[in-house]
Structure 1
Amino acid sequence: MGAIQQWFKDYPLLQSILKYLVIVVFVLLCVQFIRRFLKKNIANTSVRYKSQKGIELLGYFLLAFVTVLYFTGSIKDFTVTLGLLSAGLAFTLQELILSIAGSVYIFVVKVYEPGDRIEINGIKGDVIDVDSIYTTMMEIGQWVESDNYTGRIVKLSNAFVFKGPVYNYSKDFPFIWDEFNLPIRYGSDIELAKAIIIKAATKTLAEYTKASKDQWKDVVTKYYIEDAMVEPTLATTLTDNWVEFNLRYIVDYKKRRVTKHVLNDLIRKEIEATNGKVVLASQTIELIKIPDLKIETNT
């Protein structure tokens, strides 16, 4: 024991570093203990996640405060040291600092949170985690049709919230507008075709229409935006080859693909049941004239 004490006396800087490491380890252990306690005792997933992230951020700030205070030796030098340290770090660790600032901005302003579907920096996906540096997303789209998962987990720097727009599919209004076109052959019963499409849309989308009306009222109250029609709408366009119906409707942002499938399948069955009164059109080519052919034979 005496040899160890003498060793510490001979190397005071090493002794100081070891004491600092003990303090850091103690703070980290306390943070982990509190995180595990919250995980076991909070049943609500959202509240548990936010509480754990709050403790994690608090631990980082506490470590930063202890570090500066420990090496300056006095609280009166804290602001001066912090200013010098900030100037150096701002130059060498710009991206890291911006990422940490982004995480605070995301948490305070609630730009997005785990469970939201967002598009940022050209990447679309569902947010599955937000930490002090990165946002983790389950990617959708890319080579996969519609809004299906690709299976890739993407980590994106939180600094991107300051560098471009963030598209949130679920914040405040968890519905989106979608549409598709239906070509109907000229000579069909157009009024019957309209009735079939509107009936199918009304039947399939009734739940979404009702829920979105209440949500949209809150959006109009909160933001400077005009009131919009959330019921299914049908527009008609006359083209060279057919009558084109454009069906526009509102749907849950996570059920866009399956809803479009249900609508198309139901409309197809109803059109087939008209026994030719309504016919879906397809691209056709009309041959106006066959050019005269002259064939010469040598006898």
Structure 2
Amino acid sequence: MEFLETFKQWMVDHPTSAAIIKYLLWVLFIVGLLQFFRRILRRNLPDSNTRYKSQKGVEVIGYIILIILSLSYFTGNIKDFTLAIGLLTAGITITLQELILSIAGSMYIFFVKVYKPGDRIEINGIKGDVIDIDSIYTTMMEIGEWVSSDNYSGRIVKLSNAFVFRGPIYNYSRDFPFIWDEFDIPVRYGSDTELAKEIIMKIAAENLSEYVNASKNEWKTIVERYYIEDARVEPSLAITLTDNWIQFNLRYIVDYKRRRLTKHLLNELIISEIEKTGGKVQLASATVEIVRIPTIQVDKDQ
């Protein structure tokens, strides 16, 4: 009891400190309540998409409540409010600059819709699929690094939301979930080039028609929304003459998540069809081939 009386007297003698302690207790209570609601939602909502959005909604509501509490509480209890705000601002500017930028970045991501969970992005030199966005970090499943093509490396990367203000953000899936890809097919000189063109374009047309049809409407939306010229989404073939072979460059549009699989399928089918031509079309390589050894005549008498 004596301790309580002493504590009450201390609270009366130090109103500013008492106000800060009460404020911190309220903050702890609200944060604990929010965590309780998040745990309930996590257990009772079976759908992952609904569960994720609900938890983010609770988080946003919690921030709003804390902001309102801070403004109303301090403005009514701290006498020298101007000095307190000045000191608080200086401390925040020096110490919590990264945190403020991260929170501002999360709001920017949310309202501008820079990216969302499920998007494939590249930011700050890191490429991956976004699996979570909170008030401070963006969590990504990394793609690439020591793994070739668009495969997961297995590492989960947490990146500060402040990076949305510090450089470009490449989004593979927002607005237009397709990308253009290409590869080269070296064909020997002397091959039937018309037959080679027919084989390549036929295989491309048959296996890429789904992506072409789906991307046409998406691209129309892009053209109407942004200042950009119309582009061809059908497969195209360009031929270049080199010192060693005729280079066929196939360019096509594909779903951003199926780039590697589609390239593998096209290469496999093209090789199979070329082998069926009976030598009319032959693939070239950079290896040295001795076609004929010249005949050497030696005069024994000399």
In the superposition, the TM-score normalised over structure 2's length comes to: 0.86
- Matches of 1:176 and 1:242 in 2, distance apart? 28
Matched with 1:174 is 177
Of 186, 200, 203, 1:200 maps to 203
Contact 2:19/2:78, CA 8 A, preserved across alignment? no
Q: 1:191 to 1:201 in 2, by over 3 A?
A: same
Of 203, 213, 231, 1:210 maps to 213
- Matches of 2:214 and 2:75 in 1, distance apart? 59
How much does 1:181 deviate? 0.1
Contact 1:8/1:15, CA 8 A, preserved across alignment? no
- Matches of 1:49 and 1:159 in 2, distance apart? 22
How many residue pairs were aligned? 290
- Matches of 2:215 and 2:189 in 1, distance apart? 35
Letter in 2 for 1:11: W
Q: What's the RMSD between the two structures over aligned residues?
A: 2.8
Q: 1:212 to 1:149 in 2, by over 3 A?
A: same
- Matches of 1:261 and 1:43 in 2, distance apart? 37
Q: Does 1:252 find its partner at 2:255?
A: yes
Of 161, 164, 167, 1:161 maps to 164
Q: 1:181 to 1:76 in 2, by over 3 A?
A: farther
Contact 1:120/1:160, CA 8 A, preserved across alignment? yes
- Matches of 1:265 and 1:289 in 2, distance apart? 35
Letter in 1 for 2:252: Y
Q: Does 1:49 find its partner at 2:52?
A: yes
Q: Which moved more, 1:88-97 or 1:111-120?
A: 88-97
Percent identity, aligned pairs only? 65
Give the secondary structure class of the aligned counterpart of 1:11. helix
How much does 1:7 deviate? 3.8
Matched with 1:296 is none
- Matches of 2:81 and 2:8 in 1, distance apart? 27
Matched with 1:282 is 285
Flag structure 2 segments of 5+ consecutive residues without an equivalent: 295-302
Contact 1:142/1:150, CA 8 A, preserved across alignment? yes
Give the secondary structure class of the aligned counterpart of 2:233. coil
- Matches of 1:120 and 1:137 in 2, distance apart? 10
Give the secondary structure class of the aligned counterpart of 1:244. strand
Matched with 1:138 is 141
How much does 1:61 deviate? 3.5
- Matches of 2:138 and 2:149 in 1, distance apart? 23
In the superposition, the TM-score normalised over structure 1's length comes to: 0.87
How much does 1:127 deviate? 0.6
Q: 1:60 to 1:15 in 2, by over 3 A?
A: same
Matched with 2:122 is 119
Deviations 1:128-160 (A, max 9, x none): 111111111111011111010111111111111
Matched with 1:229 is 232
How much does 1:206 deviate? 1.0
Matched with 1:293 is none
Matched with 2:298 is none
Contact 1:39/1:48, CA 8 A, preserved across alignment? yes
How much does 1:40 deviate? 5.9
Matched with 2:299 is none
How much does 1:72 deviate? 4.4
Give the secondary structure class of the aligned counterpart of 2:185. strand
Q: 1:79 to 1:211 in 2, by over 3 A?
A: farther
